[in-house]
Structure 1
Amino acid sequence: MHRGLCLLCLCLGFGMAFSGTFKRCRALLEEHGVSVTDPVADSDPKGAAYDAYSLQVGGKQCAYRTAKITPTKNGAFVTCWKRPDGGAIVPLTAEDLHTLLVAVEEAGNFGMFVFPAQDLLSKGILSGGKKGKLSFRVYAPWVVTESAQAAATQAWQRTFFAQKDSTSALQVFDSVEGQAKRARHN
């Protein structure tokens, strides 16, 4: 009986357990005065492998993913798809979100990318006039790249990377959120 009640609570969204990585991202955002709503898990169970959530950050619609470190290639792998009406997976579009948050944790390092949808659209990652991608690689600043293409990708992505105790974190949030309401710290 008690176990059934716990399962019912999880199904109804009470006491939903968010990943530790998401909690760290939320804390980083809130430390910088950016409001974050409780996330809603993607309805597709395959999204759970990447902590696929949708949420509001600074009053804007966002998608959240945790990137996965892969054993054979440097950088991290992240998905950016949705499954409309239980059909085939398709790339996210710029209409789906304002910002894509991607957390990366590796060998004691932690940070997150705060990608504006328009930048991902211009890079061909989100669909909209172009096909878009179902996944892509992210290269945090601590990653030593192994190819010219990876180095070029890391260079444009670095603009959108934020870490705790980083002076660039506030600039990243401000540039992406623009005129989003910021909480006051007393």
Structure 2
Amino acid sequence: MHDFFEVLNYVNKIIYEPNRLPLERVQEEPQNANYGAGTFKIFSKTVRFRVGHVTPTKLGQFVVFWEKNDNNKNQPYRYDEATDLLVITTFKNETAFGQFIFPKEVLLQQNVLSSDATKGKMAMRVYPSWDTPTSKQAIATQKWQAPYFIDMCDASDSLNEELVKRYSL
């Protein structure tokens, strides 16, 4: 399931609607369609949305995020033009479901977004809490990503509070 509207509809019914997080200005991003790509707004926050891909040989989920420059070449998103949040929805079979909700400031610190001082990236691998990486790089990546991951299988009130906090700050 990687169609933007299909995944967003699922997430909306399971997460956003029950927590009164209204979606506005929903748009698909065709250049990254294989990754359920789109943008929308929740409250005052602009959101770039992606769906992680499970790959057959590596742990974690792969995701891309790039745009075309004036010369029609792929380039990383720039910090000064980036949405407030990058949300990467992850699935593990039919049993686990979660979201990474990265503020753009964190993406700049991690050299994901480009700026005058950083090159930026056009893709990365994310490691949900249910993954146990063994390589040093993957362990370090999961460590910086962990505070931004929410396991959506937890249907408690604390999950609701956390979602509202992250989307409406």
**Do both proteins adopt the same fold according to a TM-score greater than 0.5, normalized to the shorter chain?**
yes
The runs of 5 or more residues in structure 2 that have no matched partner are none
Equivalent of 1:113 in 86, 100, 109: 100
Q: Look up the SS of the partner of 2:17 in the other structure.
A: helix
Q: Look up the SS of the partner of 1:39 in the other structure.
A: strand
Paired with 2:164 and 2:123, the residues of 1 have a C-alpha distance of: 23
Structure 1 stretch 169-178 or stretch 48-57: which is displaced more? 169-178
Paired with 2:18 and 2:140, the residues of 1 have a C-alpha distance of: 30
Count of residue pairs the alignment pairs up: 160
CA contact (8 A) 1:35 1:59 kept: no
CA contact (8 A) 1:103 1:112 kept: yes
CA positional deviation for 1:20: 3.2
TM-score for both structures, normalised by structure 1: 0.77
CA contact (8 A) 1:66 1:104 kept: yes
Q: Look up the SS of the partner of 2:23 in the other structure.
A: coil
CA contact (8 A) 1:67 1:103 kept: yes
CA positional deviation for 1:38: 5.0
The runs of 5 or more residues in structure 1 that have no matched partner are 1-16, 179-186
Q: Find the counterpart in structure 1 of residue 12 from structure 2.
A: 26
Q: Find the counterpart in structure 2 of residue 80 from structure 1.
A: 65
Question: Quick check: 1:53 aligned with 2:38?
Answer: yes
Equivalent of 1:98 in 84, 101, 105: 84
Paired with 1:154 and 1:37, the residues of 2 have a C-alpha distance of: 31
Paired with 1:154 and 1:35, the residues of 2 have a C-alpha distance of: 30
Paired with 1:25 and 1:154, the residues of 2 have a C-alpha distance of: 23
Q: What CA RMSD, in Å, does the superposition of the two structures yield over aligned residues?
A: 2.0
Say which structure is richer in strand: 2
Paired with 2:82 and 2:134, the residues of 1 have a C-alpha distance of: 33
